Amino acid sequence: MSVVRQARLEDAQAIAKIEIDTWRATYPGMLPDRVLLNMSERRQTSSWASFLRHRPEDVWVAQHPHIGVIGFGNCGAQRDGTVDYTGEIYTLYVLPDLQGVGVGRALMGALFQRLEASGHRSALVWVVRGNPARFFYERLGGKQVMHRPIPVAGQPVEAIAYGWRNFSAVLGRRARSRGEPTGDPPVQ
């Protein structure tokens, strides 16, 4: 059973490793091989350390009692000003061997809570069109908002934005699953 907590600076390397492992497991055929081959643990660690120094409250990890950090995500203000969803999930990755047991949903809940605490009620996430992770976002009540090529590692890749107009419904479902009453409508 993993716990979800705010990330610390010393998690940067574990986060970088998970990012590289999941990219290489998820994106063959969707991103050019050389992008996947050229990923560097040193560079990614340094980039995550920099993000964590500036915005530690926007990065959350799932920690397994024996394995350590097994998933992470980060969030913040929406970066594409063309739609009126104010928050954005920037990344969400769970180690391939530990996908499908609820870690992603728990991380999304923590990221939505963080967005809510910083004043957001709506959010979107970009997902590469060919990535089956989009069904995960649909399962969590996300609706397709738009699609267009987005730059991934410098390459334009066709992607879909999934949005939640009011993500409190997703948080409400988490509370219900713990047996707590909420006034929110059910998600799907």
Ligand X SMILES: CC(C)(COP(=O)(O)OP(=O)(O)OC[C@H]1O[C@@H](n2cnc3c(N)ncnc32)[C@H](O)[C@@H]1OP(=O)(O)O)[C@@H](O)C(=O)NCCC(=O)NCCS
How far CA 158 is from CA of 26, 36, 126, 146, 166, in Å, comes to: 15, 17, 10, 11, 26
Distance in Å, CB of 101 to ligand X, minimum: 5
Q: Which of 31, 103, 161, 171 binds ligand X (CB under 6 A)?
A: 103
Check binding of 105 to ligand X (CB under 6 A).
yes
Beta strand 87-94 with 68-77: parallel, antiparallel or unpaired?
antiparallel
Check binding of 70 to ligand X (CB under 6 A).
no
Check binding of 3 to ligand X (CB under 6 A).
no
Check binding of 121 to ligand X (CB under 6 A).
no
Check binding of 111 to ligand X (CB under 6 A).
no
Query: What DSSP assignment string belongs to 27-85?
Result: -BTTB-HHHHHT--HHHHHHHHHHHHHH-GGGEEEEEETTTEEEEEEEEEE-S-TTSS-
C-alpha to C-alpha distance for 67 and 137, rounded to whole angstroms = 26
Q: Which of 133, 145, 160, 171 binds ligand X (CB under 6 A)?
A: 133
Check binding of 101 to ligand X (CB under 6 A).
yes
C-alpha to C-alpha distance for 14 and 70, rounded to whole angstroms = 8
Burial of 127 (0-12, 13-18, 19+ CB in 10 A): buried
Q: Which of 76, 87, 104, 109 binds ligand X (CB under 6 A)?
A: 104
Which of these ranges, 53-61, 114-122, 131-139, 144-152, lies near ligand X under the rule CB under 6 A? 131-139
Q: Which of 8, 43, 139, 148 binds ligand X (CB under 6 A)?
A: 139
Distance in Å, CB of 61 to ligand X, minimum: 13
Scanning the structure block, which residue is given the tokens 């990065």? Answer: 59
Check binding of 131 to ligand X (CB under 6 A).
yes
C-alpha to C-alpha distance for 181 and 77, rounded to whole angstroms = 29
Nearer to ligand X, 53 or 149 (CB): 149
Check binding of 132 to ligand X (CB under 6 A).
yes
Residues in contact with ligand X by CB under 6 A are 22, 26, 92-94, 99-105, 125, 127, 131-133, 135-136, 139
